[in-house]
Amino acid sequence: QQPVQSPQAVILREGEDAVINCSSSKALYSVHWYRQKHGEAPVFLMILLKGGEQKGHEKISASFNEKKQQSSLYLTASQLSYSGTYFCGTEISGGSNYKLTFGKGTLLTVNP
Amino acid sequence: KAGVTQTPRYLIKTRGQQVTLSCSPISGHRSVSWYQQTPGQGLQFLFEYFSETQRNKGNFPGRFSGRQFSNSRSEMNVSTLELGDSALYLCASSLGTSETQYFGPGTRLLVL
């Protein structure tokens, strides 16, 4: 079941904040966030696991509401380099095999 | 550490032909996943291999197959190519389940 991302696109000025949401109809075990720039491969941003553990290596925050099966990615004080398409990938809870299902993406454009 | 490498980077084939794509994961990574990315469908999961075993498969026809070797390198094969198979094929490696996936640069396949 493909997760639903919102908004589909957002345009910001440098320094503004943005929130990208990811919702699933299934109980989730983990949510992965990636950013992809045009012509490049997706780059890892963050993993949120059921139970609250969070892994990431960039100064970007995210939340995972297990009850609502939703995750939100928070981009604060946006920089030009934040531009790109953001994908959430979800792993279903209780699944015996590893399978990541991605949303259609949110196109973020940061202008000077 | 060297990143994920994929060969070839670009490929042009005609309908009915078959193609084999190769992926070399990051050293020490035993999980390799394959994705198809198109403008219309986004990132779609093809299959995942761990220690030479296919653990999960996406909703693709049997023309799509893959394998993993003892050194964790993976190949995917598409037989009887169709125009709709034109896409960017991405390979990602990780240490295991629910770990960060590192994507390769992809192989762009054009079917004429």
Chain A residues closer than 8 Å to B106 by CB: 41
Q: From the list A47, A98, A105, which residue is nearest B56 (CB)?
A: A98
Chain A residues closer than 8 Å to B44 by CB: 102
pLDDT of B62? 93
Q: Residue A53: pLDDT band by 50, 70, 90 thresholds? A: low
pLDDT of B84? 95
Is the separation of the CB atoms in B37 and A41 below 8 Å? Answer: no
Asked if the Cβ–Cβ distance from A102 to B33 is below 8 Å, we say: no
Each residue's pLDDT tens digit, B28-52: 999 999 999 998 888 999 999 999 9
Average pLDDT over every residue of B1-23 = 95
| Token duo for residue B109 | 């396949």
pLDDT of B31? 92
Range with the lowest mean pLDDT among A72-76, A98-102, B42-46, B65-69? A98-102
The rounded distance, in Å, linking the Cα atoms of A91 and A98 is: 7
SS3 B85: helix
B19-24 β-sheet, strand order = B5-7, B19-24, B74-78, B64-68
Largest CA distance in chain A: 46
Å between B43 CA and nearest CA of chain A: 6
What average pLDDT does the structure give for chain A? 87
pLDDT of B12? 97
Chain A residues closer than 8 Å to B90 by CB: 41-42
Range with the lowest mean pLDDT among A68-77, A95-104, B55-64? A95-104
Å between B18 CA and nearest CA of chain A: 24
The rounded distance, in Å, linking the Cα atoms of B105 and B37 is: 12
Asked if the Cβ–Cβ distance from A49 to B106 is below 8 Å, we say: no
Each residue's pLDDT tens digit, A88-111: 999 887 665 557 789 999 999 999
Chain A residues closer than 8 Å to B102 by CB: 44
pLDDT of B4? 96
Average pLDDT over every residue of A67-76 = 90
Interchain CB contacts (distance < 8 Å): A and B: 57
Å between A96 CA and nearest CA of chain B: 9
Q: From the list A30, A97, A104, which residue is nearest B55 (CB)?
A: A97
